[in-house]
Amino acid sequence: MAFPYMEAVIGFMILMYFFESYLDWRQHAALKRPTLPKTLEGVISQEKFEKSRAYSLDKSRFHFIHEFVSILMDSAILSFGVLPWFWKRSGEFLVYIGVNAENEIVHTLAFLAGVMFWSQITDLPFSLYSTFVIEARHGFNKQTIWLFFRDMIKGILLSIVIGPPIVAAIIVIVQKGGPHLAIYLWGFMLVLSLVMMTLYPILIAPLFNKFTPLPEGELRLKIENLASSLKFPLKKLFVVDGSTRSSHSNAYMYGFFKNKRIVLYDTLIQQCKNEEEVVAVLAHELGHWKLNHTMYSFIAVQILTFLQFGGYTLVRNSKDLFQSFGFDTQPVLIGLIIFQHTVIPLQHLVNFGLNLVSRSFEFQADAFAKKLGYGLPLRAGLVKLQEENLSAMNTDPWYSTYHYSHPPLVERLAAIDELDKKQD
């Protein structure tokens, strides 16, 4: 008797839904607490706390509904054989319009086009509500409905341009890969990720946002001096108009080898009280670079990707696996999708482990900025970002340990204080 792969996948999905819903319930209860954590008393204003609490509770209620609808839809799609049905219908559609459905690449692209259309339609109400009700209600949304749909259309067009060559390459590699298939797939994805990391900030990101050089002045001078002191090969320093879409703030860096760039959100510059706080936030980000966190994360992802492809090669010809999900043929991309479903338990464990590592990296980057002399402005900057982004002040420890890649503010401030005590 064949192993019931599909039933096992659905069972685990439902089990994880109940487990994560329990964690969500614990977090919701924490968000309802009417008082600030003791560490933040006198640091965060009561007005900001009340706004943060209202925003977090609104997002939490919306999350409960979204997750419930998602598990119903995902379970129904698998249980009622929607994927194999759609694969057959996409083939029939190609025959109807006079295209050769025997060509697996063409058939796969038709299937993916339908899946993309379906996912856009089903996700649209949630995206609209999140952006134009929740984010707008709490003063974050800055985009018009026209800008929202323009971004969505640009995203779809990019998928149409970029997606087909990638899908075609994967199918050809699997069909001709032979015994070294996992190595070829991993090599292709490695090259693709490097190309996308190079092209995204230069060609794709500017389609959605405007990047302008940071003007000459005190802030630019301080950032350049910091980068120079750390031997960070800063080539360009940009400000991005994040305020056209949201008042949330951020900063990031990108680039290879001796060609590094730093991007500041205009909202970050506006929200921080002075240049020193912005520089302190960047000192934290540069800490990730100096401590090789970015490289470690990249290597970890490459190892996991290789292991995933290795696992896929072991089951890609399993008729039982395909038949369990309702397929009487074994298309390449369908095999990858099914395999991804079957390794969901491992993915949850891996993601949890990566979150723990990421949290450790955040503490290390804070300590790095502190050693550079940015302890007080970093503390002030973290508090300001927490306030302005209305991030959750009260968090459940189980929920944050499982979900958060960044430690809660209370933990980060406590760690900075601990460093002060050790130095005294």
Binding residues: 284, 288, 362
DSSP classification of residue 267: H
In the residue annotation, 135 being an active-site residue is answered as no
Contact status, residue 372 vs residue 283, Cβ threshold 8 Å: yes
3-state secondary structure of 389: coil
CA–CA gap between residue 351 and residue 207 (Å, rounded): 31
Quote the tokens at residue 259: 């060609």
Q: Is 329 helix (H, G, I), strand (E, B) or coil?
A: coil
Report the C-alpha gap between 268 and 322 in whole angstroms: 49
CB 187 within 8 A of CB 349: no
Measured distance CA(232)–CA(274) in Å, rounded: 23
Type of residue numbered 165: P
Catalytic residue among 366, 387, 388, 396: 366
Euclidean distance between CA atoms 32 and 61, whole angstroms = 12
DSSP 39: G
Q: Is 366 a catalytic residue?
A: yes
d(CA 217, CA 173): 52
Distance, CA of 156 to chain centre? 18
Among 135, 276, 277, 285, the one annotated catalytic: 285
Known binding-site positions for Zn(2+): 284, 288, 362
Q: What is the largest CA-CA distance in the chain?
A: 79
DSSP letter at 204?
I
358/293 Cα distance (integer angstroms): 9
Residues serving a catalytic function are: 285, 366
